[in-house]
Structure 1
Amino acid sequence: MNAGAALPFLPDAVIFDMDGLMIDSERVSLACWSQAAQELSLPFTDDFWLGMVGLGDRDCEQRLLQHIDAAQVAALFARCHDLYEARTQQGLPLRPGIMAILQLLQAHAIPRAVATSTRQPRASRKLAATGLLPFFDVVVTSSDVAHPKPAPDIYLLAAQKLGKDPARCLALEDSPAGIRAAVSAGMTAIQVPDLVHPDEALRALGHRIVASLDDAHALLVPLLPSAQVE
């Protein structure tokens, strides 16, 4: 899909991923996984952690269990959790362009939701700490569904809670797992890659891929009523 291809309609709602899209937290998460593994003398490469970007805890656990035993997985999760909580308390930066696109949608009363693989209550804590929570009508996390991303459940539930047809929703994502979830839910999807860039198999899904949230913003502006009047 041409990154600059016009969107086919003004979305009835826009659904946002959280980590890596709105909050610049994926680098922190990967650093915590790596540090925890090193402390526990577990042999993992940076590429392995990149493969877990966008996945829920259960899928991450299953990946780890292919290499280490359950006790080691539990210890790794516990140490990574402690490291991550300590880092997040210091504050996490926002991704460039996120406030502008949220303010644009809010100004035009377009409903907004979060669909994140992060579990509650951590998701709400992070959204509140970064000042993002007031922008959203609905927050759906992996705690709310049986099957996390790349399954479509999180996106379908977000649309349901907003009272919108998934086919009339726009999803914004950074990760391959998130894009697969949004496309499977029948949504129009825009990918803003962060740490993991789309391979040919992902590109074959036909979604829009842009370099920044500013580019996603630019795709929305021509569809808004004020832009049409001008």
Structure 2
Amino acid sequence: MTAIAALPFLPDAVIFDMDGLMIDSERVSVACWAQAAHELALPLADDFWLRFVGLGDRDCERLLLQHIDAGQVPALFARCHDLYEARTQEGLPLRPGILDLLQLLHDHGIARAVATSTRQPRASRKLAAAGLLPFFEVVVTSSDVVHPKPAPDIYLLAAQKLGKDPARCLALEDSPAGIRAAVGAGMTAIQVPDLVHPDDDLRALGHRIVDSLADAHTLLLPHLR
């Protein structure tokens, strides 16, 4: 790992994104959007769907309306939903290092929450199917807030439900939208990029960027010995 600034404190809580950070689902999601668009003969390039990473349904819809007619959107959402549900029932792999990190936090009694743009009940189903749900005291989704990521609401609500000061929380994210949400909530943030890598504007936020969850694990260790 390239030298990364040490964490300034042992966090009172660690708040995790879900898709692309803990569960390797963003590739599946992007593939389902692309397949649905092809089936419906919509003029959208395959790389267009990377813009959806980390966003809630309303922001995705706003992006779509810049390129296709409003009447085409419901059919696209419905077909993508069906494709994605079929794929997720087959099971989705975990991101490397997530179980070791969650077990470390559990063993040291550090509170844990999920803050995801996925809506309920899909979020809880995916966490349960992946065997991750028992690790978390709180699960906050875009169903629980008016303004999803990149607004800070999801992270602020997760901290509130845990009874923790956001300034004493660590947020782990893969997406630009998620990092903007976490930083906007006043949390210390670590980004583990998956499909979308940080540009100069995102890097200007000053958060830590690492190559893997194992690197995030390493940043926590000095505070746990």
The TM-score by the shorter chain falls in which range? over 0.9
* Correspondence list, 1:185-196, <5 A: 185-196=185-196
- Counterpart in 2 of 1:203? 203
Question: Is the CA contact 1:112–1:135 (under 8 Å) kept in the aligned structure 2?
Answer: yes
Shift in CA distance, 3/39, structure 1 to aligned 2, threshold 3 Å: farther
TM-score (norm. length: structure 1)? 0.96
- Counterpart in 2 of 1:30? 30
- 1:47, distance to aligned residue in structure 2 (A): 2.3
**Which runs of 5 or more residues in structure 1 are unaligned?**
none
Q: How far apart, CA to CA, are the structure 1 residues paired with 2:191 and 2:45?
A: 26
- 1:71, distance to aligned residue in structure 2 (A): 1.8
Shift in CA distance, 100/154, structure 1 to aligned 2, threshold 3 Å: same
Q: How far apart, CA to CA, are the structure 2 residues paired with 1:3 and 1:213?
A: 15
Give SS of 1:14's match: strand
- Counterpart in 1 of 2:106? 106
Question: Is the CA contact 1:14–1:110 (under 8 Å) kept in the aligned structure 2?
Answer: yes
The CA deviation string for residues 14-55 of structure 1, in whole angstroms up to 9 with x for no partner, is 000000000000000000000000000001112210011000
Give SS of 1:51's match: helix
- Counterpart in 1 of 2:146? 146
Structure 1 vs Structure 2: percent identity of aligned residues?
85
The aligned amino acid for 1:145 is V
* Correspondence list, 1:8-157, <5 A: 8-157=8-157
Q: How far apart, CA to CA, are the structure 1 residues paired with 2:114 and 2:41?
A: 36
The CA deviation string for residues 123-177 of structure 1, in whole angstroms up to 9 with x for no partner, is 0000000000000000000000000000000000000000000000000000000
**Which runs of 5 or more residues in structure 2 are unaligned?**
none
TM-score (norm. length: structure 2)? 0.98
The aligned amino acid for 1:154 is I
- 1:97, distance to aligned residue in structure 2 (A): 0.3
Q: How many residues align?
A: 224
Give SS of 1:139's match: strand
- 1:79, distance to aligned residue in structure 2 (A): 0.1
Question: Is the CA contact 1:26–1:195 (under 8 Å) kept in the aligned structure 2?
Answer: yes
The aligned amino acid for 2:23 is I
- 1:66, distance to aligned residue in structure 2 (A): 1.1
